[in-house]
Structure formats: structure tokens, C-alpha cells
Chain A
């Protein structure tokens, strides 16, 4: 059990890194609190596995520190860190039975055989492997093998944390859902810190209380699924979370408002002041399709835009419209009138986010 702190952590695979792109992990500061169920979400190649391997000690970071409960562990080998890690592709010891596979991590630390037995049976029960215990691991199917790999992570109750690196990739969708529930239950039962790596937002939000979104070697936002949805701290979060992703449009900051050429949008005075202080003239404005307001008729706040097309997705529709040459999307509820040719849309101030250099500019409204 431990709180894991990443202190000015950075990592590069290159021998003489010169530019930020040479870093798989760009300098970051982060804390995984004891007992949390976390997801680490990001596209392929953004550095998720690298970060996990640094936490478990398989990889030594080029810069910065890893702390467990405030103690530096950089110099400790994975064997000395008491951490469990489950990899993307199943790793089983072919010549051993399923039982021996599950018992292996416990035998290695000299747990007495009767304790091993009860723990292995317990974990096998949870993972529905009880009737496979006597089989050789070699003959198992891919998803059974992955259950065994996960089981080896779960048998140890001495671990500080369990790290899962896209563990359900090889598992079919139905079982995937079931196993994720299982993991969640195990988390609630044992209160172990779990970090779950995935590139699937749905997987992340069903498993985790808090999600760390990673992009180009950085954690760009750490928050609840709701926070990521309502208040993306980085344009990448807006784009990656939600479906369809956030709309973005370039705008200029004038003396009293945002301007998109012929259209303007009023800004909260505090936000306007902040932008002027930052001397930001070119900004990106982001608004989620769910928050774009589509009116039935003309209105003081609404812009008149051209409708491109409407997609019917069953319980809701997605309206694509052209706003200053940019295609934007709005979500229409089932019973809403579908505009033809032209539409009146508005961007409620509360949901209109302003980004400078891809990061959200926030002000305290109270």
C-alpha cells in the first residue's frame, strides 16, 4: 500500500536527446493516491507503457524521481518494489499448471503452502478459473492465459499497487466487460491502488474514479470522467474524450470580445482580462456538440449557419454545420426539430472554453 509520487519525472530512449520530441515522457509531476482506481488514457505511442515500466522499476527514468510513500525508489529493482504488473499480451509459464502459475509469485517470496492454497483458490474463484487449475497453462486459450496473467498480479496482498497495461486487448468484448467489473470489485474489496492503462475512453470511465489523460509524453489532465467531459484542460482532451469530440475554431481576442470574422462572441470580463494580460491574440475556442444550442427560430444570440448534413444515431442526431468554413457538430435530442438548410445556433458562455497554446485558460468566476 503506497502513495506513488512522480517528481519532475522525464524519460528518453535516445542517447543524446536535443528536442522535446526525443522524450517519451516529458517532465511531469503527478501523484497516484493510495487506494485509488485510476485509468491512464491516451493514444498509442504517447508513453503509457513507458510510464508504467518506470513506476514498476522495469525501466530507470532518465530524469526525476519515483517516490513510494515519500521514499525514493529509483534505485530499487522491480523485485524490491512490491508491485504487480499485468502486460498487454498474456505471459504464462507454459510448463506449469494454472495452479502453479498463480502460486508462483507467492512461492518466490516464501509464503507457506497452506496460505498459498487458500489465496490461489480465492483468486481462481474470482476469475472463474477454478475448473482449470490442474491444466497446463500452455494449452489455454488467449483469454484464459490473460486471466492467469492477471491472477498472478492479484494473488499477492503485499503489493503497493497493481499496474494494468491494456490487459484486455486480447479478450473478446463480452468477457472484457465482465472482467472489468471484476477488477472494480476486487478494487473495492481490497482497496489496492490500481492504475489501468487503456486507449479506450469507455474502458477508462467504467473502471476508474479518476482518469489521467496522456498526450505526447505528458499527463495533460487528471480528473473525473465528468471533469474531463465538461472542462477539458487541453484541446487533446476535448478531442479525445466524447464522441464526437469537441468542436474547435480559431478566434481573435479584440478589446471587448471574441471575433470569428463577421461574428463575435461576448466574453466574461475576467476571462477577457486574463487573455489580455497573457497578451494572447490568437486563441482556440472549444465547445462540445452536446452544448451547442440549436434553436427552432431566429434569436438575438443565435448565428445563422448552413446545415451540411444530419446523421441519425438512433436515440439522438448529430447535426453538422458550417461556421466560417469550419465544420462543427451539434447534438440534437430525439424529439428536437431537425433544421433544414439553415440553422440557428448559439454557444452558451458557460460551455465555451478558450485555449491558448492548446491549454485551457481558466478564471475563477466567483
Chain B
């Protein structure tokens, strides 16, 4: 077949191009604009080149926030992914029990972020909260307002409670898509329960798990509301993650230049991690 040259076809792509331009590229360019200039007011501005970027890259507070951020994201992934799979495996598959389980598991997903923060803020207090009271009863001196480790663990717990259901629901749908005959063949082959999981269920879950990991990574990497509501990033800097630092800088100190540079670096880190993760998994799946 000979290729027909018809450049008019490009006009068909125009609407998509415009939508992407207005929704993503133009707002992003504003940030780029700020990140390379020092702007005092609409008429007074200086081009500063990579100045802000250098400042951001060498800021030790941001380094600490970044490390905290990574530890936090990897911790919640390490808990939520296996726990989500386990919950999905335990959920009933037939009858009224199945719908009931689905509703129960989905409930945390319907609660807004700041409400989750508020719930746990109260829930964790020793005087009026059930969880706090329970910990006190067990003889544990639990106090998220003064103990950095307790605050950090509370934020982790909140996230696990809020978002494990997402992973569980993704896995549940993945499991339902496995034809019954696979389980039958495994029984005929005398496969152990573990082998069924390892060689039938897990391979069929790979795709939903990739989505789950990416979503949870991106989302947790941008966590802001919950620690803000719980302790405002404290005690000390124990729950000050990247977003929190960014907001402190942009609004608290009104350093828009460095904040913009920081935003771009932040965005690139997320993009980079997702890309590395995705390519690694895809390469692993290739037929050798």
C-alpha cells in the first residue's frame, strides 16, 4: 500500500491538543515562569536562571522532607499491597456475603481526606478517643501530639485504613477475572494453596497491582491533608512531608520562586519513580 499524504488530518488532533494545552501545559508553564525569575510585582521581575533550583537542591530541610517522604511512601506500600491482596483473597465471592463485604470494604474510600484526619485525631486521643483509650488500657503511653514516632505511626495507620480498601477492591476484581477452570486444573495437578496463589492468582493480579502501586505511590507521595489536620506536620518535623514543606515555603514564607522550582523537582521525582517502576515491571514480564 502506498501512503497517502494528507496533512489536513492533523486538524483532527487539534481539539485534544488544545485540551491538553489548557489543562496541563499552560498551568505548568506558569510554574516554570516563576521558577526561573524573581518576581516582586507584575512590573518588577528579574531573570535568575537556575538560582532557585540550586537553592532548592541544596536545602537540607527539603532533603530531610524528601527522605521522610520516601520512607513514608515505601512503608505504606509495603503494608497496603500485601494487606490488600490478603483482604481480597478472604472476601467471599458468592451470594449476599459478597455484596456485603464489598460495601464494608469500600466505606473508608468514601470519606474525604480531612475528615479522615479529624476522625483519627479524635479516635487517637486517650481522653475521648476509643483507640487512644484502648492503647492506654494496654499500658502503652500513646500520644501522637508529643511523640514524633507515634504521630508518624498514626499517619501511616490512617493511610492504611483509608487506602488498603482500594488495593483490595482492585485485587478482588482481578481475582474474579480468573476462570474457574484454572483452579480446577490446579486441583487436578495437586497444587498446594501457596502454589495456586503463586502461579495462578499472583500472575493474574500483576496488572491491577501495577495500577495499585502507581496510584498509591503518587497519592502518598503528595500526602498533605492528614498530617496537616492531625498535628500540622509535627511534633517537630516528624510528619512534615514534601507537600507540607512546599506549602510552608510558598504560603508561609511567600517564597514563590524557590517554591515553583521545588514544585517542578517534585513533579519530576514522581514522574521518574513511576517511570522506573513501570519499565522495570514491563521488562520483567517479557518472554526471555
Contact = CB atoms under 8 A, between A and B. Distances in A.
A135 B287 contact: yes
A105 interface: yes
Interface of B: 179, 181-182, 184-185, 187-192, 195, 199-200, 203-204, 287-288
16 contacts: A53-B184, A58-B184, A83-B188, A87-B185, A91-B185, A95-B203, A104-B189, A105-B189, A108-B192, A109-B190, A135-B287, A136-B287, A136-B288, A149-B185, A152-B185, A152-B189
A138 B287 contact: yes
B187 A91 contact: no
Interface string A72-92: 000001110001110101010
B203 A94 contact: yes
B207 to A, nearest CB: 12
Nearest to A149: B185
Contact of B195 (A56, A91, A108, A135): A108
Interface of A: 53, 56, 58, 77-79, 83-85, 87, 89, 91, 93-96, 104-105, 108-109, 135-136, 138-139, 149, 152-153
Main secondary structure of the interface of A (DSSP, over half): mixed
A299 B157 CA distance: 98
Contact of B188 (A84, A96, A139): A84
The 8 closest A-B pairs by CB, nearest first: A91-B185, A139-B287, A108-B190, A105-B189, A78-B187, A93-B199, A95-B203, A136-B287
Given A78-B188, A108-B190, A152-B189, 10 more contacts: A77-B187, A79-B187, A84-B188, A85-B185, A89-B181, A91-B181, A91-B185, A93-B200, A93-B203, A152-B185
Contacts of A87: 181, 184-185
B221 to A, nearest CB: 30
A307 B189 CA distance: 58
Nearest to A163: B188
Nearest to B185: A91
A56 B191 contact: no
A79 B199 CA distance: 17
A152 B191 CA distance: 12
A136 to B, nearest CB: 5
Contacts of B203: 93-95
